[in-house]
Amino acid sequence: MSNARTLPLLEPDGQGVVPCCPPLTERPFTAEEAETAARMFKALGDPVRLRLFSAVASHAGGEACVCDISDVGVSQPTVSHHLKKLKEAGLLTSERRGTWVYYRVEPSVLAAMGRLLTSPAAGPAGATTGN
């Protein structure tokens, strides 16, 4: 099972994980789906957290420790605080190695988030809307 755990946006399944929610354009979200997905969006709704998330997501090897991403203009305790929030929202996982905690963006979570925002009409070969 590696270091898999129950992520808010993904639910464990026999085969792996299943995204919580359909694309936003497919049908109106239920209250439960909206609760789950809104938690994730809210976590990314802070500029500093978003920069940190991007810093982890784009770091070599897909993971980073606080020591790697402390150049966003806030103190290291603040960085740690925000990383913890992202972790609580299920957007990052973490692993301690020696002195440092390493944070990682789960590709499956990114994929689930991207799926939420998939628009059938957005692609270059998307269907034309009637009127």
For binding to a second copy (CB under 8 A), which residues are involved?
24-31, 34-35, 37-39, 41-51, 53-55, 57-58, 60-62, 69, 72-73, 105, 107-108, 110-111, 113-114, 117-119, 121-123, 126, 129-131
CB of 5 to a second copy, least distance (A): 18
CB of 97 to a second copy, least distance (A): 13
Measure the CA–CA gap between 23 and 29, rounded to whole angstroms.
9
CB of 84 to a second copy, least distance (A): 17
3-state DSSP assignment of residue 126: coil
Measure the CA–CA gap between 55 and 49, rounded to whole angstroms.
10
Q: Please choose, from the candidates 54, 44, 29, the residue with its C-alpha nearest in 3D space to the C-alpha of residue 88.
A: 44
